[in-house]
Amino acid sequence: MIPLIETVIRVFDRHGERSKRHKARLKYLVNGIGFEAFMNLVEGEKKAIKCKSFIVDREAVETTIPGPERAYPTTAPSDPQKYENWLKTNVFEQKQKGFYGVNVKQFLGDMPTDTAREFAAIVQKYASDDIRITVNQGWLLKFVRKEALTGLFNELDKLGLADPGFDSTVDITACPGTDTCNLAISSSTGISGELERMMKEEFPDLIFNKNIKIKISGCMNACGQHTIANIGFHGMSIKNGNYVLPAMQLLLGGGIEPDGSGSIADKIVKLPTKKCPDAVRLILADYDEFAFEGEYFNDYYRRQIAADKTYFYKKLKPLAELSTLTELDYIDWGHTEKYVTEVGVGECAGVMLDLVGTLINETEDKLKWAKRAYDKGAFADSIYQSYTTFICGAKALLTSENINCNTHIGIIKDFDTHFIAKGALQVNGASFESLVLKMSEQEPTQEFAKVYLEEVVDFLAKVRAYRAQKLLVNG
């Protein structure tokens, strides 16, 4: 996996979108060129990476298994009914006889540090001394002895960490949304809290339901996994006359099927975010009334849309009605102020610097890293830093000529067209492309790293001279 990931990152670096931030995602590249072409590029990059295979030492981290001598408190559960539910939904017997895995449900995975310290102390007392983070923003404790379960429950409960319903419908996954991400359009965490509250109150049995998962993202980028949820939402806004209100796109039918295959959810309808609890109520009630005994949610969803493609749209459309909105519909969940759309630079999107001078300064940093890696004997890293220095230098000159720079490969080709072919600048080799991309065809040896580094130093000197000359002529 690790060498493969490295080659994929290199391919995305070179071919991925850099300018339009909403498209700076691997999925757009794969969609644009096709999976086969993408994998050919990955294959072509394999030679240039240092580690062709990487063996993970599974023994490197020791698993401590609590011995029988540990004395656990023998008190009764502090809340017997909750304890029963917790045992049913959060605890499972491990393959290793006599030991139990315990899942901890944590609202959106947010744990304050003081709670984390107390939690760590509890884990050391009752379980193996390591914690796994689960994909649905919870925790997994391992090797808990049967006689330790009550004490563990009581102590977790005191910290608010013994809620039953791990990985159930009431265990929502969401990205940070407007809390911290500048790309978010509406609050994914605010609505998650409201939905969990509503379901616990109105549908308490949902803590046992692992058939329906709800996942929410603050925008369409899907960090909250909304496309692989039975019920998914992603943030958006709706214009109503001169006003804008926070909204959610509702999706249905995604997730892991009982046979282990995966489904991508379908978009159904856009709703004011304040109407989303009603939408969930309606969907749950409909499922309750019309699903066959034990029918998986996605099977029920597909059965309904096979009979009438607009089945869910028609049911939910009245909630999208804008003529009946009140003032409260313009205030997002978890907020008190009126909603305004403000999308900035996201925490997970590529940032592009446009100023030529800044780019030329950046090449200095990159070159320094390339030299430092070379001196340390990290030749593959040095080669890659030299490569990014080439790209950055070429981008600086292209930007100075107002030529758009979206991808590394585009920069390489445009540089050949606008500088090399016109004789404005000469480089070693037939073309800038052949000079820069030969690093993919070479083993990352010291000899090659040295030559490549010398070539980029030479190239940068030419870039600076060209820029200085231009500034002299044009000011």
The residue among 165 and 232 lying less far from ligand SF4, judged by its C-beta, is 232
Q: Which residue is associated with the tokens 């944590």?
A: 106
First vs last C-alpha separation in the chain: 51
Q: How many residues bind ligand SF4 (CB under 6 A)?
A: 15
Alpha helices in 320-406 (DSSP H): 356-376, 379-400
Distance CA 8, CA 26 (A): 9
Distance CA 174, CA 380 (A): 38
Instruction: Tell which one of 177, 253, 255, 444 touches ligand SF4 (CB under 6 A).
Output: 177
Does position 176 interact with ligand SF4 (CB under 6 A)? The reply is yes
Instruction: Tell which one of 285, 322, 340, 348 touches ligand SF4 (CB under 6 A).
Output: 348
Q: Rounded to 5 degrees, what angle do the CA atoms 202, 237, 16 make?
A: 110
The residue among 174 and 271 lying less far from ligand SF4, judged by its C-beta, is 174
The residue among 245 and 449 lying less far from ligand SF4, judged by its C-beta, is 245
At residue 53, the 3 state secondary structure works out as coil
**Would you call 475 exposed, middle or buried from its count of C-beta atoms within 10 A (0-12, 13-18, 19+)?**
exposed
Type of residue found at 54: F
Longest dimension (CA), the chain: 86
Does position 175 interact with ligand SF4 (CB under 6 A)? The reply is yes
The residue among 108 and 156 lying less far from ligand SF4, judged by its C-beta, is 108
The residue among 340 and 348 lying less far from ligand SF4, judged by its C-beta, is 348
Instruction: Tell which one of 41, 48, 219, 397 touches ligand SF4 (CB under 6 A).
Output: 219
The residue among 46 and 267 lying less far from ligand SF4, judged by its C-beta, is 267
Does position 246 interact with ligand SF4 (CB under 6 A)? The reply is no
Distance CA 110, CA 108 (A): 5
The residue among 219 and 367 lying less far from ligand SF4, judged by its C-beta, is 219
The residue among 216 and 396 lying less far from ligand SF4, judged by its C-beta, is 216
Query: What Cα–Cα distance (Å) separates residue 447 from each residue in 383, 438, 453, 457?
Result: 11, 14, 10, 16
Query: What Cα–Cα distance (Å) separates residue 333 from each residue in 195, 219, 247?
Result: 10, 15, 10
Q: Minimum distance between the CB of residue 36 and ligand SF4, rounded to whole angstroms?
A: 28
Does position 2 interact with ligand SF4 (CB under 6 A)? The reply is no
Does position 223 interact with ligand SF4 (CB under 6 A)? The reply is yes
Does position 183 interact with ligand SF4 (CB under 6 A)? The reply is yes
Does position 394 interact with ligand SF4 (CB under 6 A)? The reply is no
Does position 254 interact with ligand SF4 (CB under 6 A)? The reply is no
Q: Minimum distance between the CB of residue 351 and ligand SF4, rounded to whole angstroms?
A: 14
DSSP-assigned beta bridge partners for residue 272? 247
Does position 218 interact with ligand SF4 (CB under 6 A)? The reply is yes
Region from 30-38, 139-147, 169-177, 354-362 binding ligand SF4, contact rule CB under 6 A:
169-177
Q: Minimum distance between the CB of residue 283 and ligand SF4, rounded to whole angstroms?
A: 22
> Residue 30: CB partners within 8 Å, gap ≥ 6?
38
Residues 107-166 that bind ligand SF4 (CB under 6 A): none
Does position 232 interact with ligand SF4 (CB under 6 A)? The reply is no
Q: How many CB atoms lie within 10 A of CB 382?
A: 25
The residue among 235 and 255 lying less far from ligand SF4, judged by its C-beta, is 235
The residue among 175 and 398 lying less far from ligand SF4, judged by its C-beta, is 175
Q: Cα-Cα-Cα-Cα dihedral of 445, 446, 450, 451, to 10°?
A: -40
Query: Could you tell me which of 127, 130, 129 has the C-alpha nearest to residue 144?
Result: 127
Q: Minimum distance between the CB of residue 251 and ligand SF4, rounded to whole angstroms?
A: 13
Rounded CA Rg of the chain:
28
Query: Could you tell me which of 350, 270, 387 has the C-alpha nearest to residue 29?
Result: 350
What one-character DSSP code corresponds to residue 134?
P
Does position 346 interact with ligand SF4 (CB under 6 A)? The reply is yes
Q: Minimum distance between the CB of residue 221 and ligand SF4, rounded to whole angstroms?
A: 4
Q: Which residues bind ligand SF4 (CB under 6 A)?
A: 175-177, 181, 183-184, 217-219, 221-224, 346, 348
